[in-house]
Every structure is written in C-alpha cells, then in structure tokens.
Amino acid sequence: MTILTALARLYDRMAERGEAPRPGYSNENISFALVLDTDGTPLQLADKRSHAGKKPAPVPMAVPAGSRTSGIKPNLLWDKTAYVFGVIAVERETEDGKKALTPGQGKRTADEHAAFVQEHLKLLADATDPGLIALRRFLERWQPEDFPTLGFQTDALDQNIVFEFDDGTGPGFVHERPAAAQLFSTPSEGPQGLCLVTGQDAPVERLHPKIKGVMGAQSSGASLISFNNEAYESFGKSQGGNAPVSEAAAFAYGTALNALLARGSARSLRIADMTVAFWAEAPDAEVANMYDILMGNALNPPDEQDAVNELRAALMNVAEGRAGGDPRLDPQARVYMLGLAPNAARLSVRFWHPGTFGEFASNVTAFWDDLNILPAPWKGPPAVWSLLYETALLRKAENIPPLLGGQVIRAVLTGRPLPRMLLSAVIGRIRADGDINGRRAAICKAVINRTSRQEGIPVSLDPENTNPAYRLGRLFAVLERAQSAALPGLNATIKDRYFAAASATPARVFPLLVKNATHHLALLKKGENGGIGHWLEKELGTIWLGLDADMPRALSLEDQGRFIAGYYHQRWTKSTKREDAQ
C-alpha cells in the first residue's frame, strides 16, 4: 500500500470518528472568538484558549482552510487580529516608564484589514443566513480604533480570531453554520483525471497541501509532493498534473498527516534529523489508540520501571502470537511508520514501513535483546533516538551523521542488520573523546551480533570466549587496572594514551604495555595492595593463555567493536575475588 493511500484511509477513519475536519476545512490554532449579535455589534471577545498548563495555549479548531505563505491573502471567517481588526501588538512605554503591549498598526496592517473586509463583503454580499449577515454588518462598520474603546484584552493581539453569532439563544461559531459550509462546497473547475490514490476520475489537485510539524522544515509547511521546475515535468503537464491526485485524496492525506505531526500528538517523535509518524488500523478508536501508544512507547520507552515491564510483557506476548489476556492485541493488525526529513521547501521520505503489529513487536524486542549487555547501562530498554547521540560530537542532535537515523530505524523495524556506519561512528567517537561507556559497548554488541550470529559478543563477561579481539580488550582493562592501582592519581592512564592504537593495531602497542605492567605489578606486590597485585597477575596469566603468541597486526572494524565489548566487560564487571583481595 502506498503512503498516500494509507494516509487517505486513515483520514476516512478519523472523519468517521469526528477527529478530522471536513473537506475545505483545516485544524488551526485559535485563541479568541468575537461574539456578535444579530445587528453585527460586538458583544465580547471570548477567550477560547486552554488554561490547563502554566500559560494559556491556543486550541486546535476546524476552520475554513487557508493557504497564505507570503503576501496579503486573508483567510475566510477567521484570521489574526491584523486582518480581522486591523491592529497588531505594538510595544510602547507607559507613564511609569515601563513597556507594555498596546494595539497599533504596522506597515501593511491597514492593507491586510482592507483585504479581509473586501474579500468577506464580496463573499457575503448575497448571504441570507443571520450569522453571515451579522458578520457582514460588523465588517461594514468596524474601525481599528474601536479595539481599545471596547475594552478588548491585549492578550488577543496577533492571535487567531474566529466569529461567534448570538441570536439570544447562546453563541455558536459562524464558520460551523450550514450556510457557511455551503460557501466552500462549490464544485471544482479544475481538470479531471484518473486519481492515482483512489483510481477514480475526479478533479485533480494542482497544488498539494502543506505539511506542518516536520522538525527543521519551514514553519509554514512543506510539500510532500510538488513539481516546481520544468525538469520535473513531462508531456506538457504542470504542477500536480504530472502525478494526478484528486482534490479529495490530496485533502485527505494532507489532513491525516498534519494530524499525526501536530504538536502534542502521541503518534510522532523525533529521531535524529527525522520526524517519524506512526499509526495503526483498528476496528475502533480505542483499540487504534492503544496500538499507537504501544508503538510510541516501544520507540521511546517510559522512565517508570513498572510501565517498562508492562510494555515489554505486552510486546513479548504479541511477538509470540499471544494476546496475553487482552483480546485486542492482534498480531495481524496493520501498522505504518513514515520517516520524514526537511529538504528545502519540500519533504524527503527517509523510510516507509507498512507491516503488522506482530512483526513490529518481534523486531523491537529482538533489538532490545541485541542491546542487552551487563553491567546494564540502562534501567530499561533504551529509546532508538538516544543511541544516535553516542555517535555525535558533544552529543548534539545536529552533529549526528546525516541519513544514519533513517538507516537505524529501518533496520530496527525490519529486523535486518544494523548499518555498519553506526559501528564506525561509535568507534570514531571513542577514539575522539575516550569515553567507553556501556551504551557504546551495547551498540557495538548489537551491530556485530546482528551481522555475525555465529561469533557474537556475549551479554556478560565470558572468560571462556576465545575471540582474540575480545580477549585483548579484556587484557587492556587489566593492564589499565594495574597501572591505576600502582600509580594512583595519574592525570592520564594508558586508556587515554593508547586505547585507540591498541584496539586497531594491537601487535604494535601491547608489548610496550605488558612491559610496563610488570613494573606496576611489582610495585603492587611489594606495597599495601599486595593482594590486588597477585590477583591482577593471575588474571593477566589467565587471559594470556587464550591468546596466540603472535598478536594480530590490525583489527577489523568488527573486531575493534569486540575489543571495546571485552574491555567494558572486564573493566566494569564486579569480581568477588578482587573485592576480597582489596
């Protein structure tokens, strides 16, 4: 199933449940409503914002769709105060020397208001509906200087305003009146064509809807489909005619995708430079919402341990084909994941993965198993996005290698090997900053074990593992321990100076390190820490027994990952014998 088809089907389900606006409308953030009486006289400016948080926040509302990106173009039946009232917020100094926001005008505010009035007087010239007549009468008499005289709150300045009509029985939104809906239901005069989404002959959309909410893209929205240059056009067709999608299908997929990406949505998240949207098909809204929550938590697990355990149990049950006591958990339920990234004024699709919930659960839990390493660097399974920070300079999102996020999430969702680039990036950061932590060791383990199941890295310290790279990593950890015990307080240990070289070219570095270690062990055995000295000497001998006389001249990238895992296991696994010796 194509991306647009799946999104259009999602819109149909959302529309049935009243979760999506009808054609010709879009969800916009609305803050206030101007209440009018039958004569068009303003009664009040009603606050429609949500006051649940620390600050009042606009609420999404289905209003007639607008497409303003630049220039002067009024929206219909709603807009910001510059268009509706002809005023904006201007900072002025008060009598006591403080600064306050007051209603005023900018360079083009008067032109914006005039365009709003002209457009609506033309639209409502023949209106017979009382609510539309009230709006027309209001616009015929309104003057921008009326705003402060009516006592309207300055919080409304520069906010989006809608209209309400009160005929004495209570206010109701003007844009929701049946007569207003008919204004936007006129048949299209555009060319007909075979829609690639629905397979039906219908008016073809010339300019596809703007998609908002993609991290890094233009705040006004970016196009998922566009043809803005002759090089992309063919057979004399322009714009949307090159890939005909009906107006209805374009509205459907745009509305559904914008709903998924809306701020506060539980069905999207950021992974590196991507914004990932996901959704499920289910017989009713409650079940679909449950799948969406499970998918979101699987990619970004909660912090609470009880919630993590419950999530893991649910996914394991689905992965194994069991409902786990909840008949709504259907392994065959369809799920979709779409990764988007900004590309100038357009969007690029980093990945598209349709599948079943059972496949999703199986692949995610397998990924968690691949990352499992002891000592555990996480309290619970990690979020996919958090791994990528281990590849970035200063652990900043903007420094994550481009395209890596898409490759990683695609591998997680499909169960395929993780990209070798992930291993290379982690090893590169270890060489640069010397931080050999459990998260990076777990990444090395996951990448290598998915590629080579026969010679995988163990979950915990494995003294019987004969892999040379793994044993050399263990050896390096013991040598470092011997140095730090013999010479406490060093500013730089062998890890700081030699780890990069030892993990890449062990035959060149280890002879020097072992020679120095003999002096460190001698100091330890003569001093107060004789017990730890004897223990370290025995540990060195045990590791040496599993190594060939000739050390490898160079280690491959995968073997460097095994070296890191061996070092981490040996360095951080607690040893009862060593503690007793101390």
**Exposure class string for 193-216: b at 16+ Cβ within 10 A, else e:** bebebbeeebbbbeebbbbbbbbe
Are both 218 and 165 inside the same structural domain? no
Residue 41 has pLDDT above 60, yes or no: yes
Residue 575 has pLDDT above 70, yes or no: no
Q: Decide which of 134, 149, 183 is a domain's last residue.
A: 183
Are both 229 and 106 inside the same structural domain? no
Backbone angles phi, psi at 167, to 5 degrees: -95, 15
In this prediction, residue 324 carries a pLDDT of 67
Are both 436 and 565 inside the same structural domain? no
Above pLDDT 90, what percent of the chain?
Answer: 76
Q: Report the pLDDT averaged over residues 55-70.
A: 88
The span from the CA of 373 to the CA of 112, in Å, is 62
Task: Report yes or no on 54 lying in a domain.
Answer: yes
pLDDT (tens digit, 9 = 90+) per residue, 400-440? 998 899 999 999 999 999 999 999 999 999 999 999 999 99
Report the length, in residues, of the chain.
582
Domain range for 66 = 24-183
Residue 210 has pLDDT above 70, yes or no: yes
Task: Report yes or no on 348 lying in a domain.
Answer: yes
The span from the CA of 578 to the CA of 477, in Å, is 14
In this prediction, residue 334 carries a pLDDT of 95
Query: Are the C-beta atoms of 408 and 414 separated by less than 8 Å?
Result: no
Task: Report yes or no on 41 lying in a domain.
Answer: yes
Task: Report yes or no on 557 lying in a domain.
Answer: yes
Q: Decide which of 125, 152, 183 is a domain's last residue.
A: 183
CA 49 to chain centre: 26
pLDDT band at 187 (very low <50, low <70, confident <90, very high): low
Q: Report the pLDDT averaged over residues 386-395.
A: 94
pLDDT band at 582 (very low <50, low <70, confident <90, very high): very low
Q: Exposure of 97 by Cβ count < 10 A (0-12 exposed, 13-18 middle, 19+ buried)? A: exposed
Are both 225 and 139 inside the same structural domain? no
Q: Left, alpha or beta for 236 (phi > 0: left; psi -120 to 50: alpha)?
A: left
- Residue 172: both structure tokens together: 């109701």
Task: Report yes or no on 10 lying in a domain.
Answer: no
DSSP state of 459: S
DSSP state of 418: P
- The torsion defined by the Cα of 100, 103, 108 and 113, in degrees rounded to 10, comes to 160
C-alpha distances in angstroms, 426 versus 55, 441, 442, 506? 41, 9, 10, 19
The span from the CA of 422 to the CA of 409, in Å, is 11
Are both 270 and 250 inside the same structural domain? no
Q: Decide which of 226, 249, 265 is a domain's last residue.
A: 265
The span from the CA of 247 to the CA of 23, in Å, is 9
Question: In 434-505, which ranges are continuous DSSP H helix?
Answer: 438-451, 468-486, 494-504
- Residue 175: both structure tokens together: 């844009």
Are both 260 and 325 inside the same structural domain? no
Are both 148 and 221 inside the same structural domain? no
Task: Report yes or no on 16 lying in a domain.
Answer: no
Which helix H or strand E contains 275, and what residues bound it? strand 274-280
pLDDT band at 217 (very low <50, low <70, confident <90, very high): very high
The answer to whether the bond into 42 is cis (omega within 30° of 0) is no
In this prediction, residue 65 carries a pLDDT of 87
Query: Are the C-beta atoms of 260 and 211 separated by less than 8 Å?
Result: no
Q: Report the pLDDT averaged over residues 29-35.
A: 96
In this prediction, residue 581 carries a pLDDT of 43
pLDDT band at 579 (very low <50, low <70, confident <90, very high): very low
pLDDT band at 570 (very low <50, low <70, confident <90, very high): very high
- Residue 501: both structure tokens together: 């070289």
The span from the CA of 61 to the CA of 17, in Å, is 16
Task: Report yes or no on 225 lying in a domain.
Answer: yes
Kindly report the CA angle at 386 between 383 and 391, in degrees rounded to 5? Answer: 145
CA 58 to chain centre: 22
Are both 502 and 542 inside the same structural domain? yes
pLDDT (tens digit, 9 = 90+) per residue, 165-174? 999 888 999 9
Which helix H or strand E contains 561, and what residues bound it? helix 557-572
- Residue 435: both structure tokens together: 């931080």
In this prediction, residue 578 carries a pLDDT of 44
Task: Report yes or no on 385 lying in a domain.
Answer: yes
- What are the beta bridge partners of residue 228? none
Q: Report the pLDDT averaged over residues 148-160.
A: 94
- Residue 433: both structure tokens together: 């900053």
The span from the CA of 515 to the CA of 71, in Å, is 75
Q: Report the pLDDT averaged over residues 470-475.
A: 97
pLDDT band at 453 (very low <50, low <70, confident <90, very high): low
pLDDT band at 454 (very low <50, low <70, confident <90, very high): low
In this prediction, residue 233 carries a pLDDT of 81
pLDDT band at 388 (very low <50, low <70, confident <90, very high): very high
The span from the CA of 204 to the CA of 484, in Å, is 73
Are both 347 and 482 inside the same structural domain? no
The answer to whether the bond into 377 is cis (omega within 30° of 0) is no
Q: Report the pLDDT averaged over residues 219-235.
A: 85
The SS3 of residue 179 is helix
How many domains, in total, are found in the chain? Answer: 4
Are both 419 and 528 inside the same structural domain? no
Q: Identify the top-confidence range among 20-29, 221-230, 379-388, 469-478.
A: 469-478
Query: Are the C-beta atoms of 438 and 377 separated by less than 8 Å?
Result: yes
pLDDT (tens digit, 9 = 90+) per residue, 284-338? 888 999 999 999 999 999 989 899 999 999 999 999 887 666 888 899 999 999 9
pLDDT averaged over every residue in the chain = 92
Lowest-pLDDT range of 37-41, 228-232, 510-514: 228-232
Q: Report the pLDDT averaged over residues 464-486.
A: 96
- The torsion defined by the Cα of 396, 399, 402 and 408, in degrees rounded to 10, comes to -40
Are both 155 and 291 inside the same structural domain? no
pLDDT band at 576 (very low <50, low <70, confident <90, very high): low
Q: Residue 60, Cβ neighbours under 10 Å: how many?
A: 16
pLDDT (tens digit, 9 = 90+) per residue, 240-284? 889 899 999 999 999 999 999 998 899 999 998 899 999 999 888
- The torsion defined by the Cα of 212, 213, 217 and 220, in degrees rounded to 10, comes to 40
Are both 111 and 220 inside the same structural domain? no
